[in-house]
Amino acid sequence: MSNQLHPMAPHHLPFFITPPNEVDVLMVVMGIFLVAAVLWVGTLYWRLHSLPERMAHKSQKLQFEIVAVLGLLALFTHIHLFWVAALLLAMIDLPDFGTPLRSIAGSVEKIAGAATYEGGAAKPEIKSDPALPAAPLETKGPNAAKAREPSDA
């Protein structure tokens, strides 16, 4: 056998063809590129997925927990409607009904006198107004006879 090349064979090989028992540099570079691309795309996906939760957390929204749960549901069920709902909920400012209602409740307690005996003090006595008519006497039941008897006062 002769060591000559076939006349139709190319006289030099391209750079991506590795000689036997050599390291395939292109495969190593592409392997590193593939791992880096997968990590980058995963990080991008994770940041995009957590966008509604970060928005709600940054603006101190009341509905932060609901947005977080919707984001987790979207992540584990792959139902994108949950993510869209979380994004919309994170962008909406819900009105604060709690603070005015607590203020109203506190004012009503002060008016009713409930705030004075919450700490363990004696309950204030309710005095009847002399201008109001007296309560009617009982005419039926076990206390009816006592109510009809004249008092010795």
* Confidence check: pLDDT of 78 > 80: yes
Report the percent of the chain where pLDDT is more than 90: 30
CB 86 within 8 A of CB 70: yes
Domain count, the chain: 1
> What's the domain range around 53?
25-91
| 38 domain-assigned | yes
| 147 domain-assigned | no
Instruction: From residue 149, give the alpha-carbon distance in Å to each of 24, 54, 93, 141.
Output: 117, 77, 68, 14
Task: Give the list of residues 6+ apart from residue 66 with CB closer than 8 angstroms, or none.
Answer: 86, 89
**pTM listed for this prediction:** 0.48
| 133 domain-assigned | no
Question: Which DSSP category does 98 fall into?
Answer: H
Average of per-residue pLDDT across 16-35: 91
Report the percent of the chain where pLDDT is more than 70: 73
Residue with tokens 């069920």: 77
CB 26 within 8 A of CB 16: yes
| 151 domain-assigned | no
| 142 domain-assigned | no
| 148 domain-assigned | no
| 126 domain-assigned | no
- Full DSSP string of 29-96: HHHHHHHHHHHHHHHHHHHHHTHHHHHHHHTT-TTHHHHHHHHHHHHHH--HHHHHHHHHHHHS----
- For residue range 111-135, list pLDDT tens digits in order: 988 645 555 555 556 666 666 666 5
In degrees rounded to 5, what are phi and psi of residue 22? Answer: -115, 160
| 71 domain-assigned | yes
Dist. CA 126–CA 113, nearest whole Å: 11
